Amino acid sequence: MKTTISEVYKYVEQEVKIGAWVANKRSSGKIAFLQLRDGTGFIQGVIVKSEVPEEVFQAAKSVTQESSLYVTGKIQKDERSPFGFELLVTGIEVIHAAVDYPITPKEHGTEFLMDNRHLWLRSRRQHAVMKIRNEIIRATYEFYNEQGFAKIDPPILTGSAPEGTSELFHTKYFDEDAYLSQSGQLYMEAAAMALGKVFSFGPTFRAEKSKTRRHLIEFWMIEPEMAFYEHEDSLKVQEEYVSHIVQSVLKNCSLELKTLGRDTSKLGKVKAPFPRITYDEAVKFLHEQGFNDIEWGDDFGAPHETAIAESYDKPVFITHYPTSLKPFYMQPDPNREDVVLCADLIAPEGYGEIIGGSERIHDYDLLKQRLEEHNLDLDAYGWYLELRQYGSVPHSGFGLGLERTVAWISGVEHVRESIPFPRLLNRLYP
Ligand code: 4AD
Ligand code: MG
């Protein structure tokens, strides 16, 4: 019976045929072990010299790393294997014998691995991270579909910039200027006025000259936008959503989390509600902690966010930032003109901001004034402003950065491992 490694539990004590690659191997005079992978999982193949034809044992001994094979054999339960099964091999058919594989079980430097990203993805750890990424995406669609949101796809090529003009990728659009989207938000606001509750999932681009463990040039964002939702309503969606994806990964990716050595007790605590502190309280806290480099009105850097996050075992919302630190579209606090109804969600364990969101200005005159204050072209933003002329309503939304979320839940140090082919400062290859 032809099957995949993920399905072998159905065939215990039965003969199966699996298409696989040789991840690793070792052998002695009497027995050979092949670490097999087929994309769906990993399993150990055992070849006992005295029990198979000589050419099968020789094939197992001589096959090179990453060669592709059809392997036949009997599935057996194996308590010692993390996967729970092994394959007692009876036949090996080499499909393609690989030449010397550059990534060996020894340690390699990061740049070398990044140059070989097209192959590095095959490794057990990278495979586990990609499976967790996939589970987060699956759980995202599940969550928003169950809550009655419609998936809407904003454009990638745009004529306006929601998050400020300094980090835009410029391109020509025939005779016009265009930019790669840095956020779909403005379009999602239009969509929310048409469909009520909407979410997007797509790539976004920022020409940020940041070389940190949290920054990518191309990253994927999930951007929900909700009509008639005020700031507080939006925070509830955010904490329920983040709890849902964390609990889904815990439930459906236990093998992957184990492969990565992730401390799952910390993830187990990630359940709504999440703690909230205001920007004012955060500044006060930082001063108490001895951060004298921060004054009211300054943005927080990675060390500040990490210090705040360390006080909690769940993600923490920092709310009500100074208006001057945030984009033009955020709704001012009705009780205080100098702060806005916004929140950043800071992940535990030093992974930084995973969500940025706010209530949006719905008053026409105030939005027009803000666009002017930010020297934004009223022609380019005309359609966005116009949304406030036809039944304008309070509305809120947010953006979750997928790669930072994957890095945090997987426990990998750097976002470059949380996307299949990272685009980084100085890296567009492979
Ligand atoms: O805080 P940001 O800039 O918010 C927005 O773009 C809003 N328009 C979203 C919205 O309200 N619809 O970005 C949102 C999230 C951040 O919290 C972070 O997780 C991620 O996107 N992010 C990045 N991830 C990787 N590399 C980068 N360079 C990132 N910049 C932002
Ligand atoms: Mg932000």
> Which atom of ligand 1 approaches the CA of 345 most closely?
17
- In the prediction, which pLDDT does 82 show? 82
- In the prediction, which pLDDT does 83 show? 85
Higher-confidence residue of 311 and 165: namely: 311
Confidence at 334, pLDDT banded by 50, 70, 90: very high
Distance CA 58, CA 185 (A): 60
Task: Give strand pairing partners of 215.
Answer: none
In order of 32, 55, 60, the CA distances from 52 in angstroms are 11, 8, 11
Question: Can you read off the two tokens belonging to residue 415?
Answer: 């976002």
Percent of the chain whose pLDDT exceeds 70: 99
- What are the backbone angles phi and psi of residue 38, rounded to the nearest 5°? -130, 15
Distance CA 51, CA 99 (A): 29
Taking the centre of ligand 1 as the mean of its atom positions, its distance from the CA of residue 377, in whole angstroms, is: 23
Ligand 1 touching residue 197 (CB < 6 A)? no
Q: Which of 197, 204, 342, 404 to mutate to test the pocket of ligand 1 (most atoms within 8 A of CB)?
A: 404
Q: Which of 183, 215, 245, 415 to mutate to test the pocket of ligand 1 (most atoms within 8 A of CB)?
A: 183
- In the prediction, which pLDDT does 121 show? 98
Ligand 1 touching residue 208 (CB < 6 A)? yes
Count Cα neighbours of 80 within 13 Å in the Cβ-side half-sphere. Answer: 2
Taking the centre of ligand 2 as the mean of its atom positions, its distance from the CA of residue 322, in whole angstroms, is: 13
- In the prediction, which pLDDT does 173 show? 95
Ligand 1 touching residue 224 (CB < 6 A)? no
Does residue 126 carry a pLDDT above 90? Answer: yes
Confidence at 405, pLDDT banded by 50, 70, 90: very high
The single-letter DSSP state of residue 61 is H
Question: Can you read off the two tokens belonging to residue 397?
Answer: 């939304």
38 neighbors 66 (Cβ within 8 angstroms) = no
Taking the centre of ligand 1 as the mean of its atom positions, its distance from the CA of residue 86, in whole angstroms, is: 44
- In the prediction, which pLDDT does 106 show? 87
Taking the centre of ligand 1 as the mean of its atom positions, its distance from the CA of residue 397, in whole angstroms, is: 12
Ligand 1 touching residue 215 (CB < 6 A)? yes
Pick one of 3.10.150.10, 3.40.1010.10, 2.170.150.70, 3.30.930.10 as the CATH number of 117-417: 3.30.930.10
Fold classification of 2-96 is: OB fold (Dihydrolipoamide Acetyltransferase, E2P) (2.40.50)
The single-letter DSSP state of residue 325 is G
Q: Which of 252, 235, 218 is nearest to 409 (CA)?
A: 252
Does residue 25 carry a pLDDT above 90? Answer: yes
Q: What is the mean pLDDT of residues 106-126?
A: 97
- In the prediction, which pLDDT does 341 show? 98
- In the prediction, which pLDDT does 105 show? 84
225 neighbors 201 (Cβ within 8 angstroms) = no
Question: Can you read off the two tokens belonging to residue 199?
Answer: 């979410």
Q: Whole-number mean pLDDT of the chain?
A: 96
Q: Which of 219, 238, 326, 400 to mutate to test the pocket of ligand 1 (most atoms within 8 A of CB)?
A: 219
The sign of the CA dihedral 248, 252, 256, 257 is positive
Q: Which of 44, 4, 38, 41 is nearest to 24 (CA)?
A: 44
What's the pTM?
0.97
**What are the sequence ranges of the domains in the chain?**
2-96, 117-417
Confidence at 81, pLDDT banded by 50, 70, 90: confident
Percent of the chain whose pLDDT exceeds 90: 94
Question: Can you read off the two tokens belonging to residue 364?
Answer: 């026409």
Does residue 144 carry a pLDDT above 90? Answer: yes
Q: What is the mean pLDDT of residues 419-426?
A: 96
Does residue 164 carry a pLDDT above 90? Answer: no
Does residue 162 carry a pLDDT above 80? Answer: no
Taking the centre of ligand 1 as the mean of its atom positions, its distance from the CA of residue 247, in whole angstroms, is: 23
Q: What is the mean pLDDT of residues 307-325?
A: 97
- In the prediction, which pLDDT does 401 show? 98
> Which atom of ligand 1 approaches the CA of 405 most closely?
19
> Which atom of ligand 1 approaches the CA of 217 most closely?
28
Q: What is the mean pLDDT of residues 106-110?
A: 93
Q: Which ligand is nearest to the CA of 325?
A: 2
- In the prediction, which pLDDT does 355 show? 98
Contacts 24+ apart (CB under 8 A), 291-299: 296/322, 297/322, 297/324, 297/325, 299/325
- Scored b (16 or more CB within 10 A) or e, 262-290 reads beeeebeebebebebbbbeebbeebeeee
Q: Which of 164, 183, 211, 161 is nearest to 325 (CA)?
A: 164
